[in-house]
Structure 1
Amino acid sequence: MSGTPIKIIQTSMLSLAYEEHGSASGDPVILLHGFPYSPRAYDEIAPVLATKGYRVIVPYLRGYGPTRFNRPDTLRSGQQAALAQDLLDLMDALAIQQAALCGYDWGGRAACIVAALWPERVRCLVTGDGYNLQDIPNSTRPMDPVQEHRLWYQYYFHTPRGAEGLARNRRALCELLWRLWSPSWTVGPALFVNSAPAFDNPDFVDVVIHSYRHRFMYTDGDPALEWMEQALTHQPVISVPTISLCGADDGVGPPPEVDEDIEHFSGPYERRILAGVGHNIPEEAPEVTLKALLDLLQR
């Protein structure tokens, strides 16, 4: 587990916790974790970037670790626009005008949205599994049965039983997802204990349940973010230099042979398939993730 001190920055909505590595004068790099993971995913990446002179920020997403909502009456939204707004707010609070972004799962979604809608704020992007913007208007169209089977946990969270199950068994359920989503990662179960405390956040369950219901239009989002959600329905292209890392053994959805996301990228873009890697890309393949970042940063 990292011994890096946790810092707190105030945004309009959150007391947002993050870990920082390197000099404050270095070029900023922001590393974003997903569900159900934590900043521990970047423990082998952030310090190396710091030694190369970069300022590295690794936040705890809303609902994770020490990050807290400022008001008890704020909707515990997990919608994609909320994650993107948190990233923008973090950058503004830290006076970061432009940063390199790296993220996967929820964090990859936030990074892709900011890259698509505010490209001037993004120097380059490393995204886990390509174009992560949700196409919510078309979310209710059935997929092939094999992929539907992989998404069982999302349908579970749509029900009161699923919400109670996550509340009662959050560690056991998240550990199961780790194993299912990264079947080739033999050390994953042993490392789970390092990330599990981040799920004890009092808002974790509410944020997770809202996230998986909102993406299927089963609950309303934050009215203040509706303008962004409307912009995302157009599936805006990403123009910043991008490398997509895809785990060949990803239990959520292995990458297709043909890159279906390429049409969503108008700038320099490359997809790299990672043999023997599952869903937790930076923690399973830190050297490959670091190389992708440096390939873009040093280009």
Structure 2
Amino acid sequence: MSENFSLSRRGFFGTAAATLAAAQLGLSEAAHADSGIVKTAPLPATPAGTHTRFETIKQVKAGVLDVGYVDVGPADGPVALLLHGWPYDIHAFVDVAPLLVQRGYRVIIPYLRGYGSTRFLSAKTPRNGEQAAIAADMIDLMDALKIQTAVVAGFDWGARTADIMAAIWPDRCRGLVSVSGYLIGSQAAGAKPLPPEAELQWWYQFYFATERGQIGYGKYTHDFARLIWKLASPKWEFDNATFDRSAAALDNPDQVAITIHNYRWRMGLAKGEARFNALEARLAKSPDISIPTITMEGDANGAPHPKPAAYASKFTGRYEHRDITGGIGHNLPQEAPVAFAQAVLDVDKR
């Protein structure tokens, strides 16, 4: 085994709430054969877990953060910005990065605020987990690294962040790969109740809304993350070493504050920063995404997620949806790295 080498709760469901009692409407890859997405040469088969670590973590001051990030591949190559979710970290892409580097890409993988070696520059900066703040962080990172454009790709919080970047800053995004599709949300949407079955899937959000939940998450952070991993990817047989590598990123001093604020903000139980009000107002209108996009879904995703038919119309440019089979759960890049890397290459094919 080689050793070398980030929405309101309703946003996950969106209009998919109406499909809960309907027939399954998942779209297959073939459903968008005329989408305009041009497939590149297939990547070599690379089993998940082939690589286990990154050699170097760099740091750069960007906006309100000192961001920890991976930077691999040729400095002059096209950039792929890969964004992890909660409660995961940069190792979700440990097998994806080498595949993209082989095709000449420069791959940037940052720790989001509240993870790993990323730190706030000032103790006075609000520990804000709202969707606009995290997306603004990534634009600040691109500016700090003097990256004009990138393919943006992610899952969970990372997919939402990539969606927002593509919708609001399309000139900075050459293409989008988003696991679980369109995840942009708003506090107004989050205030509306879902059917009981859907609400049940958000049990941890209700837990985090309480003081007991905040204290409990702080005390049992790693145990909580392991449980989420198991529930979100019920068929993924990850080992202790794989989990421990990522769980270490949750020891960040701002992890609990960022996570609690993120979920409370979605439900309207916590305020965001005034400087993001205008941006959140734009996001609350569910803006379309016009850049080339591939959305993806694993066939064993145990986390709340909408059906592809619920969000397909939000992508108005070249678009394709891909269902990934084989017991693939929520952490699609780490569980199916070749499929994820292939999507990044294909969406950038021009």
Fold-level similarity (TM above 0.5) = yes
Per the alignment, residue 185 of structure 1 pairs with 236
- 1:274 corresponding residue in structure 2: 324
Which of 282, 285, 294 is residue 231 of structure 1 equivalent to?
282
2:184 partner amino acid? L
User: RMSD of the alignment, in Å?
Assistant: 1.2
Q: Distance in 2 between matches of 1:189 and 1:3?
A: 18
Shift of 1:117: 0.7
Q: Deviations over 1:76-101 (max 9, x none)?
A: 01100011000100010011111001
Per-residue CA deviation, residues 153-188 of structure 1 (Å, 9 max, x unaligned), is: 111111101100110000000000000000011226
Name the amino acid aligned to 2:111: Y
Aligned to 1:264: 314
Q: Which residue identity lines up with residue 153 of structure 1 in the other structure?
A: Y
Letter in 2 for 1:115: A
Percent identical across equivalent pairs? 43
- 2:61 paired with 1:10: yes
User: Whose Rg is larger?
Assistant: 2
How far apart are residue 297 of structure 1 and its match?
A: 2.0
Q: Is the 8 A contact 1:248 1:255 kept in 2?
A: no
Report the secondary structure of 1:177's partner residue.
Answer: helix
Q: Which residue does the alignment assign to 1:97?
A: 148
**Counterpart code for 2:311:** D
In 2: Cα distance, 1:142 partner to 1:249 partner = 25
In 2, distance between residues paired with 1:218 and 1:253?
A: 21
One-letter amino acid of the structure 2 residue matched with residue 239 of structure 1: S
Query: Quick check: 1:246–1:255 contact (8 Å CA) kept in 2?
Result: no
Contact 1:242 1:270 in 2 (8 A): yes
Runs of 4+ in 1 over 3 A off after TM superposition: none
Write the distance in 1 (CA, Å) between the matches of 2:200 and 2:134. Answer: 26
Matches within 5 A, 1:15-34: 15-34=66-85
Instruction: Report whether the alignment pairs 1:64 with 2:115.
Output: yes
Give 2:24's aligned residue.
none
Name whichever of 182-191 and 106-115 sits farther off. Answer: 182-191
Q: Conserved in 1, the CA contact under 8 Å of 2:186 and 2:280?
A: no
Cα distance in 1 for partners of 2:158, 2:80 equals: 13
Matches within 5 A, 1:36-75: 36-75=87-126
Distance (whole Å) between structure 2 residues aligned to residue 126 and residue 213 of structure 1:
27
Partner in structure 2 of residue 137 of structure 1: 188
Query: How far is the alpha carbon of 1:8 from its aligned partner?
Result: 0.7
Matched, 1:114 2:165: yes
Q: Does 1:195 align with 2:274?
A: no
Alpha carbons 2:180, 2:295 under 8 Å: kept = yes
Distance 1:135 1:88 in 2: 20
Given that 2:99 and 2:338 are in contact with CA atoms closer than 8 Å, whether structure 1 keeps it comes out as: no
SS in 1 for 2:310: coil
- What's the TM-score once normalised by structure 1's chain length? 0.97
Give, as a single letter, the amino acid of the residue that structure 1 aligns with 2:102.
T
| Contact in 2 for aligned 1:178/1:189 (Cα 8 Å) | no
Amino acid at match of 2:292: P
C-alpha contact (below 8 Å) 1:28/1:57 kept by paired residues: yes
Structure with bigger RCO (C-alpha 8 Å, 6+ apart)? 2
**Aligned equivalents of 1:188 and 1:264: distance in 2?**
37
CA offset digits 1:87-118 (Å, max 9, x no partner):
10001001111100111111111111010011
**One-letter code aligned to 2:162:** A
SS at 1:35 equivalent: coil
Provide the secondary structure at the position in 1 that maps to 2:309: coil
What is the alpha-carbon distance in structure 1 between the residues aligned to residue 179 and residue 111 of structure 2?
17
Gaps of 5+ in 1: none
The 1:64–1:202 alpha-carbon spacing in structure 2 relative to 1, beyond 3 Å, is: same
TM-score by length of 2: 0.83
User: Is the contact made by 1:60 and 1:66 (CA closer than 8 Å) also made in structure 2?
Assistant: yes
